[in-house]
Structure 1
């Protein structure tokens, strides 16, 4: 399978599109924040580090081999304001497994944008991507993230306690996942 989406991916209120060099200031607005970096592997980023991250993301627009990722800017359809980013990673070719992720500007949280964008990535992964299972993970303290996973119809499959050192302390992580048939049932309006 090779997955090269047609961009932009449009939802009711959002456009998901490849990053451009012009996105540096928009990404820097939220990636420089300590409250955003708290649960990420990165520390708050400088503007120069954001520019490097954007340069890397510009080429992450297709799934061709295991480990590839699609990382997209999320902007409001109404005014093109950059509100965050979403990703889809191809974790296993043989088992048709993927992983979704997201980072959103706190100024735009609480409005359903992350749910809308993440649903679009699930649609992409299960639809044209032909994945069987898509997972997501987060620090157990990141309640907004694991609540989003639940809203997406994902089930908590694991709670890893003190499994790794993360930012100089023991990490605890939740793993959530949804299967293709569960996604299809949700899209058909059938409850599980």
Structure 2
């Protein structure tokens, strides 16, 4: 079983487990239709956000296939939670993981999602010892695709009209990074402060 050495401190963020006190911050962006437009769930009510938060609070370690590590990204200095990141353990045997992220749009365009997601990749490669981490997004979700590109993930596939999503056929993009690509990246050598 792997549990990250929290808190993980970056220049502008603190990455940590979710707590019950994060409900208002999480609901502030999970309740926005523009945030959930390309997700598999609709804008959440406060009760739905609370149920999701309860699952996130339980997601503190990775041990078995299908486990999800939930990471809150909060601004340093006691600032609000602005991001919700997940690292899924897809296969222990093949050392495969998947990254996911949802951020408050009020903080987009500042590089904060890249800063946080980079550390989740570090957790996967350096902490868990994964060989490959992938991320998927709807092809219309340009900000998510660009974030994965900024992370150094490469486009592996474009699945054409593979899902009937929100009333229309949509393409899905699959990005991935291998452990050797992570080790060769500038992000790997940059490290983080604890």
TM norm structure 2: 0.94
- Structure 2 residue runs of 5 or longer lacking an equivalent are none
1:62 is matched with 61
- The answer as to 2:173 corresponding to 1:174 is yes
Using the TM superposition, give the Cα deviation of residue 188 of structure 1 relative to its aligned residue in structure 2, in angstroms.
4.4
The offset of 1:161, in angstroms, is 1.0
Distance (whole Å) between structure 1 residues aligned to residue 21 and residue 165 of structure 2? 32
User: Deviation per CA, 1:5-33, whole angstroms, max 9, x where unpaired?
Assistant: 12222111111111111111111111111
1:93-113 Cα deviation digits (max 9, x unpaired): 111000111000000001111
How many residues matched?
188
Tell me how large the CA RMSD over aligned residues is: 1.1
Runs of 4+ in 1 over 2 A off after TM superposition: none
* Aligned equivalents of 1:78, 1:188: Cα separation in 2: 25
C-alpha displacement at 1:171, in angstroms? 2.2
> If the length of structure 1 is used for normalisation, what is the TM-score?
0.95
Q: Distance in 2 between matches of 1:66 and 1:90?
A: 5
Deviation at 1:84, TM superposition (A): 1.1
Instruction: Determine the structure 1 residue equivalent to 2:100.
Output: 101
| CA apart distance, 1:40 | 0.6
Any idea what the Cα deviations from partners look like across 1:75-130, whole Å, max 9, x if unmatched? Answer: 01134221111110001111100011100000000111100000000111000110
Unaligned runs of 5+ residues in structure 1 are none
